[in-house]
Structure 1
Amino acid sequence: MRTFVAIDVNQEIRDVSQEVIDKLVSMGFKATWTKPENLHLTLFFFGEMDEKSVDSVAHSLNKRLQGFPSFSTNLSGFGYFKFKHSPRVLFLKLEPTKSLQRMYLEMKSELTKNKIKYDDQGNFVPHVTLGRVKEYPNNWEELVKEIQTPKITLVIDGVTIYSSTLTPQGPIYKWEYKLKFEGGLIKNVR
């Protein structure tokens, strides 16, 4: 199964995401937009893994994150990744707080120690993907400067391991494990 580990977002961030997507659509952006229920902050993308490997990753990350103090970060605006002069991915930015960075590095260290392969993008940019761009207006960089977001706090007290099934209607995510810092590894029993 295609697998990744992520931080779930709250309803306030889902609502703002939809407002921003609506603005982008009205500006003339065409993209594969993320469905509200699929919004998350990806930490590590593993690609294809069998169930035994997913169980192993869940247990080792749970052990590593056990007792990690809950923390929060804030929504800090709109952003994009571009290739040459074209926007590729549109997203909401989250503040890269010290706690978020520390948690990410703890997890990265555990994955490396256990020789678990993941898609390494280099430096960690905490973001919630809104869409992958297909078409965009000529003056897109000027237009997106107008996008404002409220300050929303996201409390983080654990991470979730998801499987992703690709369909013509878009990906379907299913949580496999929820890892809570204050103790607890919950497996989704189907």
Structure 2
Amino acid sequence: MRLFIAILLEERIKNELCRIMEDMRPRMRRANFTRRENLHLTLVFLGETDRADSIERVMDRTEADAFPLKLDRLGKFHRGGGDIYWMGIGENPALSVLHADLSAALRREGFTLEDRRFSPHLTLAREAVPGESFDEKAFSQKVPQLSMPVSGFSLMKSERIGGRLVYTEIYKKPLRVV
């Protein structure tokens, strides 16, 4: 199974992100926009593994308090075949600690994780090529800041079904409510 640990989003946040993507769509020559049901924040990508039970145990041992999450900017990663546009997450020590604790515990369990800096974001579009009239700076200034409480994190399975990428929650760990 192809697995990752993620924070799932409230419906109102998904609605706002879909509105942003719909505003962006006519301004792109081409782009693969994220489907509403696939919007999430990846905490740890695990890749192909049949050790879901080990991951669930690590998740159960990871203790953290619920915390707010703020989405505060539009950005992009430059790619040769088209850019990746995303909503960025504001500085968030609780999120960084949760990511670090999960990653360290998973490594102790023998999992090999990506060796790059944690850059929390929500992917809106891949392989995106803007049209000539797209004013990225002006568009970015109209993107609202969004926030939501984070009350848990989930183990997700990624698979292709009927040619579509489908993410399915297979386990959820709640955070402590203070």
Q: Do Structure 1 and Structure 2 share a fold, with TM-score over 0.5? A: yes
Which residue in the other structure is 1:59 paired with? 57
Residues 1:70 and 2:63 aligned together: no
Which residue in the other structure is 1:7 paired with? 7
8 Å Cα contact 1:81-1:87 kept in structure 2: no
Q: Which runs of 5+ in 2 are unaligned?
A: none
Which residue in the other structure is 1:146 paired with? 139
After superposition, the Cα gap between the structure-2 partners of 1:29 and 1:44, relative to the gap in structure 1 and judged at 3 Å, is: farther
Which residue in the other structure is 2:173 paired with? 179
TM-score by length of 1: 0.83
Which residue in the other structure is 2:16 paired with? 16
What amino acid is the match of 1:62? Answer: D
Which residue in the other structure is 2:131 paired with? 137
Matching residue within 101, 104, 107 for 2:99: 104
Aligned residues: 176
After superposition, the Cα gap between the structure-2 partners of 1:108 and 1:25, relative to the gap in structure 1 and judged at 3 Å, is: same
Please list the CA deviations of residues 42-91 of structure 1 after superposition, one character each: whole Å capped at 9, or x if unmatched. Answer: 111111111xx1111111122122xx11111211021111136x752111
Q: Which runs of 5+ in 1 are unaligned?
A: 184-190
Please list the CA deviations of residues 105-163 of structure 1 after superposition, one character each: whole Å capped at 9, or x if unmatched. Answer: 1111111211212233x1111111112125332465x3354232222222112110010
Residues 1:44 and 2:41 aligned together: no
The CA distance in 1 between the partners of 2:163 and 2:138, in whole Å, is 31
TM-score by length of 2: 0.89
Q: What RMSD in Å do the two structures reach over aligned CA positions?
A: 2.0
What amino acid is the match of 1:40? Answer: H
After superposition, the Cα gap between the structure-2 partners of 1:125 and 1:139, relative to the gap in structure 1 and judged at 3 Å, is: farther
Task: Give the stretch that moved more between structures: 170-179 or 11-20.
Answer: 11-20
8 Å Cα contact 1:12-1:152 kept in structure 2: no
